[in-house]
Structure 1
C-alpha cells in the first residue's frame, strides 16, 4: 500500500506524503518577507506584496519543483494570479498561446529586470536572478519596474 502511494505521488510530482510536507512547511515558514529559497514555501496561501504600495497585491503560486518550473503557466487559464519560479534565472515561452509579463528578482526581492507582453517562442535570461515572477499579460493591473522591492507574505498577514 505504501509503495503504491509513493508511486502515485511520484507520478503526480509530489514530494513525500502530505503530512510530511505540512510538517516541513511549518519548519521552513518564513516570517521575514524574503523570497523563499529552493525547497522552501511560506505557510498558507501566499500573496505577493509590494512593500512601497499597499494596493499592489496579488495572489501568488510558487513553483519550486523542477516539473512545476518547467510547466510554468503553460496549462493555466488566464487570471490575475502570478507564478513565482524559485530558483530560476532562465525562462522560455515555448508552447504558450498567450503573452506573458515576466520579472527577474534577486535574492533580496528586488526586481532587476522586467518585461511586458512577451510573445511565444521567446527565451529570457538573467544570471543574477534568484527567481522569476510571471503572469498573463491580459491582466489589467500594472506590472513591476526595475528596482521595485517585493516580498512574499501569507494571506493571514494581508489586510482585506
Structure 2
C-alpha cells in the first residue's frame, strides 16, 4: 500500500490520510482483518466498483468515485454482512462511519489522491 492524502479539488484542502491498495491481493483484502479506521483515515481501492463488509466487525462509509474522482454515490455506515456497488465507479474510498458526511463527500464533488513523498 502507498500512503497519500485525499484532496478536494474545489478548495485544494486535504481531507484525509488515505492509503491506496496497489495489488489485486490488497484490493481483495481491503479492510478485512485490519483495525477499524479512525476519523481522518481512509483506504482507496482502485480499480473497484463494488465492496462487501462480510467478515468485518464494524460499519464503514463507502464513497464510490468515477475515473475522474467525481463522487457518484455514498453509502454511509454500511454495516457488516452487506454489499454495495455503483454503476460507472472505478474507485472506492472506505472511511470510518460518519466521515463522508463530515468531509463533505457528496455526489458530484471531485477529489483526488496524492501520494505522500517520503524523504
More strand by share: 2
Q: Deviations over 1:43-84 (max 9, x none)?
A: x73111112245452111111322111111122222232111
* Residues 70-79 or 115-124, more deviating: 70-79
Q: 2:80, 2:102 → 1: CA distance?
A: 21
Residues 119 and 106 of structure 1: is their aligned pair in 2 closer, same or farther, counting only changes over 3 Å?
A: same
Residues 110 and 138 of structure 1: is their aligned pair in 2 closer, same or farther, counting only changes over 3 Å?
A: closer
Pairing 1:3-152 to 2, within 5 Å after superposition: 45-78=3-36, 79=38, 80-137=40-97, 142-143=102-103, 144-152=105-113
| SS of match in other structure, 1:88 | coil
Structure number with greater CO (CA < 8 Å, separation at least 6) is 2
TM-score, L = length of structure 1: 0.63
Tell me, yes or no, if the aligned pair for 1:73 and 1:135 is still in contact at 8 Å: no
Tell me, yes or no, if the aligned pair for 2:3 and 2:20 is still in contact at 8 Å: no
- Pair member with larger Rg: 1
More helix by share: 1
The alpha carbon displacement at 1:141 in A equals 7.1
Q: Deviations over 1:116-142 (max 9, x none)?
A: 111011111113001111012165971
Q: How many pairs does the alignment contain?
A: 114
Tell me, yes or no, if the aligned pair for 2:63 and 2:100 is still in contact at 8 Å: no
Q: 2:75, 2:100 → 1: CA distance?
A: 15
Q: Runs ≥4 in structure 1, deviation > 2 angstroms?
A: 52-56, 138-141
